[in-house]
Structure 1
């Protein structure tokens, strides 16, 4: 089930939301908001196409697309913002947004979750206490420079769906469950930023550390079987030390990381119009059925459906 399902979950859990949305069809944009103890969820429906609509963030805001398409202009760069993707705005950041597909019968819909900076710092401190900071990434912290425009993994999609349903609930445990979900979402965000920071360092100097050398080798030979002995030699570490350091820094084993990167690379190839079979082969998969199963686990959609949706979004 993709993030799009969050919209249907919301409709099923709170009829007041349905009425609020259906009564606003004449508005250019309609916002519905729900407050938690340290966070706030908003759902935006936009009913008319528009260009260069300005948006300013006064805090850390995670945005997720549900339906339609936006074009985001950020830091002199423009990119398509599509369903199954996230984008994180930093405090005091300004962006401009185009809504090329929005119309009354098929609104462009997105959600935002405003996150508490104090809570993010608290979680960072907990991670730093539990896991000694490593020189490759430094301390766990939120990085303003990484806006995390990325395709959502299936676990993160499911987490957003649960959060949308929780915000619209009316129960004694609501606030506690929301904050638990927000904590998980924050950890996932910090882990992804740390990974991105580590990978960006490869563009400047792939031999900064032994771990960087191992990562660069994996990136260069994604389509080949993983050679863990070669990775250990490049990292100048014993097998146990290498696996420990790798998992601490990237949150997974080298084999899991290679699989994640193969799937991410194949997704980009599908977006560019490549056939499923060719994307599978060029990403290191020799069996299309195996590729399709792994792809579904990552994105919650078959490669064919993923390609079709991204192609439609470009229209």
Structure 2
């Protein structure tokens, strides 16, 4: 997501400007800022390292700013963690981290926000009261047993930048600002967790959930035009209700979700050496090649051709 990459660069610049002291240690050098309801930390690693332990006693939000990490979590397949991505760790969890690219002049940088479980429970209750889910989706709840890894929206990147400034600078209403912005972060976390769960198990919910049925239709029809009216009909909702519940459940609009799914599928297709960019654009139902290229670059920060050459070379 190109916009997100710009915001990550701005966050990184702010971090550098606010932290001029030499590091106390070269691996996971930590600087923390405590608030009433949260602890904000910045981690810098200046040399390559492997299997570095990170423990989380309370729920922890992690956001990558620069460099790359490889995360080892339980029995899961190790995965890369890069800028404009987030990772939410459940309480009482431990992960191990590799730093393959860290250098003294190009540190791998990450921020974390530790959140009391009671604070999350409070926000969950408010969400169920003020922004209830559809009847078939059940109530909002926080899964304290699972980690969640996701790509940031522009609003999440902006929120992290705001939190950084609130924690590291003096404000007359610091506690109030921390409370407001951590509440927004928790909402994003819960919406992402809900989205990941529904998308992972959408086939199980198709007969019960209108939103799951709409998701299934989107996944099966990425190669053709998809109208919101059609999706609303499938979900058995009015167009206005469908927009509201979809945004409420996923934190993004139906159109943005469709665009993301098409870009994800395009990334897979571009790995095929027998397909060129025009072929991929056609397979995804785009009538305009230039529109496809523009959309792809907005979401990935690179053109389809550049992406294809990089992946095929690797």
Identify the TM-score tier after normalising by the shorter chain: 0.7 to 0.9
Distance 2:165 2:224 in 1: 42
TM-score w.r.t. the length of structure 2 is 0.82
Aligned to 1:18, the other structure's residue is in SS state coil
Residue aligning to 1:188: 188
The structural deviation recorded for 1:131 is: 3.2
**1:5 and 2:4 matched:** no
**1:35 and 2:40 matched:** no
What is the RMSD computed on CA atoms of the aligned residues? 3.2
Residue aligning to 2:55: 56
The structural deviation recorded for 1:122 is: 1.0
Aligned to 2:120, the other structure's residue is in SS state helix
Distance 1:280 1:181 in 2: 39
Rate the CA distance shift 1:111–1:248 in 2: closer, same or farther, 3 A: closer
Aligned to 1:187, the other structure's residue is in SS state helix
Rate the CA distance shift 1:145–1:265 in 2: closer, same or farther, 3 A: farther
Distance 2:87 2:81 in 1: 8
The structural deviation recorded for 1:216 is: 0.5
| 81-90 or 43-52, which deviates more | 43-52
- The CA deviation string for residues 265-305 of structure 1, in whole angstroms up to 9 with x for no partner, is 44666799997666655444343443455456556x45479
Distance 1:220 1:281 in 2: 16
Distance 2:228 2:305 in 1: 34
Distance 2:287 2:145 in 1: 37
The structural deviation recorded for 1:200 is: 2.0
Q: Which runs of 5+ in 2 are unaligned?
A: 1-5
The structural deviation recorded for 1:147 is: 2.1
Residue aligning to 2:122: 122
TM-score w.r.t. the length of structure 1 is 0.82
The structural deviation recorded for 1:207 is: 2.8
Residue aligning to 1:76: 75
Q: Is the 8 A contact 1:57 1:89 kept in 2?
A: yes
The structural deviation recorded for 1:74 is: 0.9
Task: After TM superposition, list the pairs within 5 Å mapping 1:130-141 onto structure 2.
Answer: 130-141=130-141
Rate the CA distance shift 1:113–1:270 in 2: closer, same or farther, 3 A: farther
Distance 2:13 2:49 in 1: 26
Q: Is the 8 A contact 1:71 1:79 kept in 2?
A: yes
Rate the CA distance shift 1:272–1:204 in 2: closer, same or farther, 3 A: farther
| 49-58 or 125-134, which deviates more | 125-134
Distance 2:294 2:208 in 1: 36
Q: Is the 8 A contact 1:262 1:284 kept in 2?
A: no
**1:290 and 2:291 matched:** yes
Residue aligning to 1:173: 173
Residue aligning to 1:47: 46
Distance 1:53 1:162 in 2: 28
Q: Is the 8 A contact 1:166 1:174 kept in 2?
A: yes
Task: After TM superposition, list the pairs within 5 Å mapping 1:140-155 onto structure 2.
Answer: 140-155=140-155
| 162-171 or 280-289, which deviates more | 280-289
